[in-house]
Amino acid sequence: MAKTAVASRRIVLLLVVTSLALMTIDVRGFGPIDSARSTALSVTAPFRSFVGRVVSPVGDTWNGAVHYNDLQLENDRLRAEVARLEGELARLPDVEADLEALMAATDLEFAAGLSQVTARVVSDRRTGIERIVEINRGSVAGIRAGMPVVVGNGLAGFVAQVIDDDRSVIRLITDSRASVGVVGVDTGQTGVASGDGSNSELPLDPLLRIENLTEGERFETTALSLRYPPDIPVGVLVKRADDAAVYLQPFVDFERLGFVTVLLTEDQS
């Protein structure tokens, strides 16, 4: 019985070897060999299928191993690109806010004809009752101390100090040491608005009686001001029922001061 099993295995092995040999013979048009090759293909089909299943994963593994570094590099590149795009999307609100602030700082109908330099606010140095900020433009841009600083809404302050070629300090009109001569657009009444260290209101010292002032009236810089050109919007008049004083509500939003424009005026008093 054992001898029969061994003989059977030898016969199968011989058939496989013979079939493989026949499949490698490249003789076209010779009937007996073509017939033998066809028979060999049929006989060894199960064996070839088994070998294919075994070898295929090995081939895939080999190809993967050969190209692994290239695939890894490409994968890393794609991941980096996705991360960059995600970062740009995340920054989009900031970019839109910057664009909005830049447009607000440069849309200056009241400053037509005046030389201008637009700058970014790079440092907020407001402490206590002091209201100053730092911008990224200086002497190289032609900025000098005393020059008015504005945005699209109106007057923001003046250049208090030029630090170097690319840095200047701006004192806002809300600073306790800042003041500006103003005139009412409707009534023509004049006064002096001074900062008190807050970002919300400017106490107004009118030259005429308070009773003659109109709630909600717009005030601008006067032609008599030595520091500021005339007709720059400053604020709107606010009265309080329980307070004898009057105030100007500034047009400029000092909490969102991203960009400003320096007016390069000749008079820098």
Is residue 153 within 8 A of residue 179, CB to CB? The reply is: no
Classify residue 20: in a domain, yes or no.
Answer: yes
pLDDT at 49: 52
Distance between CA atoms of 111 and 239, rounded to whole angstroms?
29
Q: Report the domain count for the chain.
A: 2
Is residue 221 within 8 A of residue 230, CB to CB? The reply is: yes
pLDDT at 140: 96
Q: Identify the domain containing residue 39 by its residue range.
A: 2-43
pLDDT at 28: 41
Classify 224 as helix, strand or coil.
coil
Pair (116, 243) in one structural domain: yes
Tell me, what CATH number does 172's domain have? Answer: 2.40.10.340
Pair (17, 135) in one structural domain: no
CB atoms within 10 A of CB 54: 9
* pLDDT digits 0-9 by tens, 6-57: 444 554 444 444 544 444 444 444 444 444 445 444 544 554 454 455 445 5
In the chain, % of residues over pLDDT 90: 34
* pLDDT digits 0-9 by tens, 148-158: 999 988 999 99
CB atoms within 10 A of CB 36: 17
Q: What is the band of 62 on the pLDDT scale with cuts at 50, 70, 90? A: low
Pair (256, 135) in one structural domain: yes
Query: What radius of gyration do the chain's Cα atoms show?
Result: 43
Pair (115, 18) in one structural domain: no
Classify residue 73: in a domain, yes or no.
Answer: no
pTM of the predicted model as reported, rounded to 2 decimal places: 0.62
